Amino acid sequence: MARIPIIIDTDTAQDDCVTILLGLLDPAADLRAITMVAGNVGFDQQVANAHLTLNVAGRLGEVPVHVGCRQPVLREWSSAEDVHGDGSGGLAMDVTGVHNASEHAVDALLRLTAEAPGELNIIAIGPLTNLAVATVMDRTFPSRVKSLSIMGGSNNGRGNITPSAEFNFYVDPEAAQIVLDAGFPDVRIVPWDPVTLNDATFARPQYDRLCALGTPLARFFQRMCDATIDYDESVGVDGSTHPDSLTLAQLLHPELVLASAAYRVDVETTSPLTRGMSTMAWDKFGLAPNATVVEKVDAAAFYGILEAMLSRQTTPVRPISGMN
Ligand code: RIB
Ligand code: CA
């Protein structure tokens, strides 16, 4: 089976780390590059989290990490450190000699898609700042991207950082709207509500089973995700949330998707009350669709994909302190 070439654009913490692991270790994935965008936690910590994730998979230095936009297009950066801590779970490694790619993430997105037009699939699991800037710099960029899978918004449902807005669209709503208007040929969206809450949230017993798999990956998973499940349960979400890795998994394993539909998706950019809120107009409204929104996935099969991945025996390239 030909592997699927992907670029992961990420604000690396918690579920982003799990997504990078899936991109490195799933047999269907061919991870070509990681591009970093301002989002979850402090930018330099996100970059460190990305290298730490490569390391635990035994792949440190094998996938280029490109530093991207350190703040949203217009807005001040909004942190999710209350949700994730610093996203490292207290893990650390010697970073001597660990280098980021010298090329900016936006330049890398433009170059890689120019070198392989129509071949690369972008997995956008943070605010869409890098993708928006790439689009403004080169209006032909969207046409060169085979597919764009976005974790963002809610499908006429609850937000998470505010009652109406999901975090990725909230942090940079202008970037989200630029991307949604850009004409990417194949856009898939995995929203927070309902599909993450219904089908990509692992209740405590399921979560504990993943943590107990006895591999370095499982111990890493637990250290990365413990802070977030504690937060989630404190705000009434019944478990460990994994929208980002689902956003990649639905591309690698399309049989996971049990229901999806074409929608016109737009993001609120003017109202302080509903900043970042996504409106997802279904066919009733007769608007030209700009995305396929995932509505339901096979939760058990998705869990099984992550369980199989975390069961893999890997040897970290460098020792990781705090893992035991
Ligand atoms: O709202 C969920 C998104 O915000 C995910 O990408 C997760 O990483 C959090 O940052
Ligand atoms: Ca993310």
Task: Show the tokens assigned to 323.
Answer: 């893992």
Task: State the closest ligand 1 atom to the C-alpha of 15, by its place in the atom list counted from 1.
Answer: 8
The tens digit of pLDDT for each residue in 198-248 reads: 999 999 999 999 999 999 999 999 999 998 899 999 999 999 999 999 999
Among protein residues, the one with the nearest Cα to ligand 1's atom 4 is 167
Ligand 1 pocket member 221 (CB < 6 A)? no
**For position 1, what pLDDT does the model report?**
79
Backbone torsions φ then ψ of 166, nearest 5 degrees: -85, 150
Ligand 2 (ion): residues with CB under 5 Å are 11, 16, 125-126, 244
Q: Could you tell me which residues are beta bridge partners of residue 263? A: 291
Contact 11, 125 (CB under 8 A): yes
The tens digit of pLDDT for each residue in 135-193 reads: 999 999 999 999 999 999 999 999 999 999 999 999 999 999 999 999 999 999 999 99
Peptide bond between residue 194 and the one before it cis (omega within 30 degrees of 0): yes
The tens digit of pLDDT for each residue in 34-59 reads: 999 999 888 999 999 999 999 999 99
Tell me the C-alpha to C-alpha distance, in Å, between residue 35 and each of 6, 14, 218, 253.
11, 16, 24, 23
**For position 141, what pLDDT does the model report?**
98
Q: Is the pLDDT of residue 9 over 80?
A: yes
Q: Rounded to an integer, what distance in angstroms lies between the CA atom of residue 148 and that of residue 284?
A: 25
Ligand 1 pocket member 192 (CB < 6 A)? yes
Ligand 1 pocket member 48 (CB < 6 A)? no
Q: How far is CA 138 from the centre of its chain?
A: 23
**For position 45, what pLDDT does the model report?**
93
Task: Calculate how far, in angstroms, residue 167's C-alpha sits from the geometric centre of ligand 1.
Answer: 6
Ligand 1 pocket member 151 (CB < 6 A)? yes
**For position 63, what pLDDT does the model report?**
98
Q: Which domains are present in the chain?
A: 4-310 (3.90.245.10)
Q: Is the pLDDT of residue 16 over 80?
A: yes
User: What is the percent of the chain where pLDDT is above 70?
Assistant: 100
* Identity of residue 48: A
Among protein residues, the one with the nearest Cα to ligand 1's atom 2 is 167
Lowest mean pLDDT across 94-98, 254-258, 276-280:
94-98
Task: Show the tokens assigned to 147.
Answer: 């597919």
